[in-house]
Amino acid sequence: MNALQDPKIEGVAISAPGGKTLLRLLTCGSVDDGKSTLIGRMLYECGAVFDDKLGALDRDSKKFGTQGDSLDFALLVDGLAAEREQGITIDVAYRYFGSARRKFIVADTPGHEQYTRNMATGASTADLAILLVDARKGLLTQTRRHAFIASLLRVRHIVLAVNKMDLVGYDQTIFEDITQSFQTLAQGLGFASITPIPVSARDGDNIVARSTHMGWYAGPVLLEHLETVQVGPQAREGQGFALPVQWVNRPDLDFRGYAGTIAAGSIRVGDRVRILPNGQSSEVARLVTHDGDLQLAAQGQAVTLTLASEVDISRGDVIVSGATSARQGLELSAHVVWTSETPLRLDNRYVIKLATGQANADVVALHRVIDINSFEARAVSEVPLNGVALVTLRVDRPIVFDDYARNRVLGGFILIDRLSNETAAIGLVNSDALADLARASGWAEQVERRVIGHIGVAGSQARRRFLRSLVADLLVAVLLAGALGFWAGSLPVGLVLFLADLIIRSLVRALCRRWFRPSEGVSDGGGI
Amino acid sequence: MIQLTHLQKLEAESIHIMREVVATCDKPVMLYSIGKDSSVLLHLALKAFYPAKLPFPLLHVDTTWKFREMIEFRDRRARELGVDLIVHINDEGVKAGINPFTSGSRLHTDVMKTEGLKQALDTYKFDAAFGGARRDEEKSRAKERIFSLRSAEHRWDPKNQRPEPWSLYNTRKRPGESFRVFPLSNWTEADVWDYVALENIPVVPLYFAAPRPVVERDGTLIMQDDARMVLLPGEKVEERMVRFRTLGCYPLTGALESQATTLEAVLDEMRSSRVSERQGRVIDNDGAASMEQKKQEGYF
């Protein structure tokens, strides 16, 4: 408790205004690896825990704490009553603190498998992930899963915090073995950096201050690394401009402005722009803000722009300029992280919300489900809560999108269940994944996919339709063949007729389906 | 490439949230509680919709126990900005004689704030209400979504919240359901003050130190704002140099002794403070999960 009176840390929590940068990070790892303890410890050591909250912590530690008589830092962050009772983190909690150099927003995400969706939510805005591993247990299934989700949502930087080093005698070999295994596991996950740090969150070793127990470790301590790591901008230089129109500002007949947050690139007054999806073009007349007009605006700014000519633009349209990779379409392939208790089924109806665009969406193909524990792909008929799958979606009006790898705003979306209104999935547009899948899979798998394409996935409406028509066909064929065979008095003739009828009718039906494919769901434009 | 500072990022995020509400909800309203967070919220809203006027009214749920200076400030700002201001008072509560002194803080808050708010939302059929709450204020707030869905009975279900990835908000709801929307979710107290200073945003003078008549009661300095506060035996009114870190009903808001008469002095004082801002709020300490429970019942 004496640290409170230490003048060094006093008031570090509060920043001076101006030029500080912001780092958004998430903490993840298995249950009981000490995530909440680690965050509580960082908040405490950065002076972000006020005296009255510490008083409450002292009270709560005695009631719920799992650390004997010492302060249980996890209780600083486990906020909901249910969480405090069960001693686990259920929901994403956001924490705010700062050091002399940076502001931090931390998403503390749950370790339990049933809350994977919450981890994906936390990862969606993070620049960096702290992945906790218990030094006694090494890498677990959860470690793989979290590394995979972080990679899927393109969190580029990983800190591998090997925690509870005090419980393994600060053993260097254990730390190095875990580091080695993680490097192997992370191959192909595409992280820009992996920084392993041996820590003890409970005692504060290598969190803010260098541990006196691990002289063999020469790398940065955790806070030092978070303060200095270069996360780089999400956008690349030279990327085209894109502004998803959020709201049309029409206070009177003389003013028509398009308000939105710039998703990519930058724009100047006078620049030529195109409007997607209708393809009209115009020129930027003004960049209007409350504090006066701007000449230049860039990614991340919430602006209102006006155009030199009269064009028809509404919410959901995207104003683009330069070499943009944003495009429009009615079909897109994407990874989805399923977030609803009701599994994804091909015949359920969804609404897609991508940037400011919205449309009705059908999942027309479920290519594979990825086992997030083993990274293996499996062909199945539905995706359960927390499942990750590669799907093709068809929407009922042109939607403007980009690959998630290129742009988080134009490549990230949610699917909303049209009946319950719940958020059913977090989606990431990935145009290359289908081609990769085709290349990677053998001929047997491709044949299987073709066949499934025809007969539908087990349990789907397509499969039921197929079975119904198959039964009907068989019945008709048996009757026909029986009648004709009896009339001709010959069993072989009946058999031939039976087969001929079955084959010809199936063929005709397949051809009809191919030529006159009904535009399912397109007529239904309501519910938005 | 323009590198935005963290305050510029927060500002853009809040503006994005406000526009999303106006673009997708039928009848939004902004809860205006007259404090510094409300001042920032209002300022951001003016920016978000410029050059249009505010596309929604302000709503103040008046418990009739606010500081007089707050009410003066409220009416003056509404006049200056030409915004539409609705003031709602729970008349049933007034008739029943509910007050923070004899009814207790809990009942007073339930009836005059929570019930009053629900009455107003129901009367005007608002389907989205902006609030200035921040996640750093309190533990259960830290887990609340930016778009917080409330049932037709205004209840919050903390265990069944929609995931909110990126800046994508699921704004679909059934008839009768509504959203409480928190554009300042990711701001901290320090960010709010830094922004007030940077943008020159007017705030109620009670945030700055001045000689004020206060009474020490249960270890808290309460300002005697009007004659309704009756002194208990042994109490006396003293003139002390005080200011307020948060503003609410005067009998429930503790003052702190301070010499900070300017914004710079307030910022300095806050930077070296070791107690949290809600510490002066009497209602928060009614049990560990107290705020979570109030929120489930419909409190902001």
Q: What is the pLDDT of residue B173?
A: 95
Q: How far is B40 from chain A (nearest CA, A)?
A: 14
- pLDDT tens column, B183-192: 999 999 889 9
Q: What is the pLDDT of residue A239?
A: 78
CB proximity B201 to A under 8 Å:
no
Q: Tell me: pLDDT of A73 over 50.
A: yes
Q: What is the pLDDT of residue A521?
A: 30
**Per-residue pLDDT band at B280 (split at 50, 70, 90):** low
Give the Cα separation of B204 and A148 in Å (integer): 50
Tokens 């999935």 identify what position?
A: A425
**Per-residue pLDDT band at A371 (split at 50, 70, 90):** confident
Q: What is the pLDDT of residue A100?
A: 80
Residues in chain B: 300
- pLDDT tens column, B112-123: 999 999 999 999
Stretch A99-114: mean pLDDT? 81
Nearest to B205 by CA among B59, B36, B33: B36
> pLDDT: is A248 or A436 the higher one?
A248
- Candidates B4, B47, B151, B188, partner chain A, best to mutate (most A CBs within 10 A): B188
Stretch A148-175: mean pLDDT? 96
Out of A118-122, A323-327, A475-479, B163-167, least confident range: A475-479
Q: Tell me: pLDDT of A83 over 60.
A: no
**Of A367-376, A509-518, B133-142, highest mean pLDDT:** B133-142
Q: Tell me: pLDDT of A527 over 70.
A: no
Bond preceding residue B28 cis, omega within 30 of 0:
no
Q: Tell me: pLDDT of B241 over 50.
A: yes
Q: Across-strand partners of A394?
A: A331, A362
Q: What is the pLDDT of residue A281?
A: 96
Give the Cα separation of B229 and A67 in Å (integer): 46
CB contact under 8 A, A21 and B2: no
Task: Name, in order, each residue with C-beta under 8 angstroms of A395's C-beta and a sequence gap of 6 or more.
Answer: A330, A331, A332, A352, A359, A360, A361
Are A398 and A373 a contacting pair, CB within 8 Å?
no
**Per-residue pLDDT band at A416 (split at 50, 70, 90):** very high
The closest CB to that of B51, out of A251, A412, A423, belongs to A251
Are A480 and A497 a contacting pair, CB within 8 Å?
yes
Give the Cα separation of A422 and A348 in Å (integer): 13
**Per-residue pLDDT band at B142 (split at 50, 70, 90):** confident
Give the Cα separation of B87 and B96 in Å (integer): 20
CB proximity B23 to A under 8 Å:
yes
> Three-state SS string across A308-333, please?
CCCCCCCCCCEEEECCCCCEEEEEEE
How high is the ipTM of this complex? 0.91
Compute the mean pLDDT over every residue in chain A, rounded to the nearest whole number: 82
Q: Tell me: pLDDT of A413 over 90.
A: yes
CA quadruple A38, A44, A49, A55: dihedral, nearest 10: 100
Give the Cα separation of B171 and A423 in Å (integer): 10
The closest CB to that of B142, out of A10, A94, A301, belongs to A94
The share of chain B scoring above pLDDT 70, in percent, equals 90
Q: What is the pLDDT of residue A16?
A: 38
Q: How far is B177 from chain A (nearest CA, A)?
A: 11
Out of A4-13, A59-68, A401-410, B24-33, least confident range: A4-13
Task: Name, in order, each residue with C-beta under 8 angstroms of B144's C-beta and a sequence gap of 6 or more.
Answer: B133, B135, B156, B158, B161, B182, B185, B295
Which residues from chain B sit within 8 angstroms of residue A255, using beta carbons?
Answer: 51
Half-sphere exposure of A469 (CA within 13 A, CB side): 16
**Per-residue pLDDT band at A302 (split at 50, 70, 90):** very high
Q: Phi, psi at residue B269, to the nearest 5°?
A: -65, -40
Q: pTM here? A: 0.84
Which residues from chain B sit within 8 angstroms of residue A104, using beta carbons?
Answer: none
CB contact under 8 A, A21 and B163: no
Q: What is the pLDDT of residue A118?
A: 85
Q: Is A169 exposed, middle or buried (0-12, 13-18, 19+ CB in 10 A)?
A: exposed
Q: How far is B48 from chain A (nearest CA, A)?
A: 8
Are A275 and A281 a contacting pair, CB within 8 Å?
yes
**Per-residue pLDDT band at A233 (split at 50, 70, 90):** low
Map residue A370 onto helix, strand or coil.
Answer: strand
Q: Tell me: pLDDT of A512 over 70.
A: no
Q: What is the pLDDT of residue A40?
A: 83
CB contact under 8 A, A19 and B49: no
- Please state whether beta strands B58-61 and B28-31 pair in parallel, antiparallel, or not at all (unpaired): parallel
Q: What is the pLDDT of residue A517?
A: 44
Q: What is the pLDDT of residue B283?
A: 53
Map residue A458 onto helix, strand or coil.
Answer: coil
Q: Tell me: pLDDT of A290 over 80.
A: yes
Are B262 and B287 a contacting pair, CB within 8 Å?
no
Give the Cα separation of B162 and B142 in Å (integer): 15
CB proximity B276 to A under 8 Å:
yes
Q: What is the pLDDT of residue B276?
A: 65
Nearest to B283 by CA among B247, B252, B251: B252
Q: What is the pLDDT of residue A12?
A: 28
Nearest Cα residue in chain B from A22: B6
Map residue A80 onto helix, strand or coil.
Answer: coil
- Six token digits for residue A13: 């929590």
Total beta-carbon pairs less than 8 A apart between chain A and chain B = 191
> pLDDT: is A385 or A414 the higher one?
A414
CB contact under 8 A, A80 and B158: yes
CB proximity B152 to A under 8 Å:
no
- DSSP letters for A33-85: S-HHHHHHHHHHHTT-S-HHHHHHHHHHHHHH-SSTTS--THHHH--SHHHHH
Which residues from chain B sit within 8 angstroms of residue A317, using beta carbons?
Answer: none
Q: Across-strand partners of B135?
A: none
The closest CB to that of B170, out of A81, A125, A414, belongs to A414
The share of chain A scoring above pLDDT 90, in percent, equals 49
DSSP one-letter code for A4 = G
Q: What is the pLDDT of residue A62?
A: 62
Give the Cα separation of A308 and A9 in Å (integer): 55
- Ranges of H-type helices in A186-341: 222-228
**Per-residue pLDDT band at A109 (split at 50, 70, 90):** confident
Q: How far is A407 from chain B (nearest CA, A)?
A: 12
CB contact under 8 A, A251 and B52: yes
Q: What is the pLDDT of residue A5?
A: 30
CB proximity B135 to A under 8 Å:
yes
Out of A35-49, A328-342, B18-32, B249-263, least confident range: A35-49
Q: What is the pLDDT of residue A464?
A: 72
CB contact under 8 A, A105 and B163: no
CB contact under 8 A, A423 and B46: no
Give the Cα separation of A37 and A277 in Å (integer): 49
CB contact under 8 A, A353 and B159: no
Nearest Cα residue in chain A from B47: A290
Q: What is the pLDDT of residue A50?
A: 62
Are B220 and B282 a contacting pair, CB within 8 Å?
yes
- Six token digits for residue A313: 């633009």
- Six token digits for residue B49: 């919709």
CB contact under 8 A, A302 and B271: no
**Per-residue pLDDT band at A520 (split at 50, 70, 90):** very low
Map residue A275 onto helix, strand or coil.
Answer: strand
- pLDDT tens column, A17-71: 456 788 999 998 877 778 878 888 888 888 766 666 666 666 666 665 555 555 6
Bond preceding residue A277 cis, omega within 30 of 0:
yes
CB contact under 8 A, A96 and B186: yes
Q: How far is B114 from chain A (nearest CA, A)?
A: 20
CB contact under 8 A, B188 and A96: yes
Q: Tell me: pLDDT of A7 over 60.
A: no
**Per-residue pLDDT band at B216 (split at 50, 70, 90):** very high
Q: What is the pLDDT of residue B287?
A: 47
- Candidates B21, B162, B268, B286, partner chain A, best to mutate (most A CBs within 10 A): B162
**Per-residue pLDDT band at B127 (split at 50, 70, 90):** very high
Compute the mean pLDDT over every residue in chain B, rounded to the nearest whole number: 90
Stretch B214-243: mean pLDDT? 94
Are B219 and B285 a contacting pair, CB within 8 Å?
no
> Three-state SS string across A453-477, please?
HHHCCCCCHHHHHHHHHHHHHHHHH
Stretch B63-84: mean pLDDT? 96
Q: Tell me: pLDDT of A13 over 60.
A: no
Q: How far is A151 from chain B (nearest CA, A)?
A: 15
DSSP one-letter code for A243 = E
Which residues from chain A sit within 8 angstroms of residue B292, using beta carbons?
Answer: 79-81
Give the Cα separation of A512 and A508 in Å (integer): 6
Q: How far is B3 from chain A (nearest CA, A)?
A: 9
- DSSP letters for A400-428: EE--TTT-HHHHEEEEEETTT--EEEEEE
Q: Tell me: pLDDT of A510 over 80.
A: no
Which residues from chain B sit within 8 angstroms of residue A56, using beta carbons?
Answer: 288
Give the Cα separation of A63 and A65 in Å (integer): 6
Tokens 């007949």 identify what position?
A: A253
Instruction: Read off the amino acid at residue A485.
Output: G
Q: Tell me: pLDDT of A304 over 80.
A: yes
**Per-residue pLDDT band at A445 (split at 50, 70, 90):** low
Q: What is the pLDDT of residue B278?
A: 59
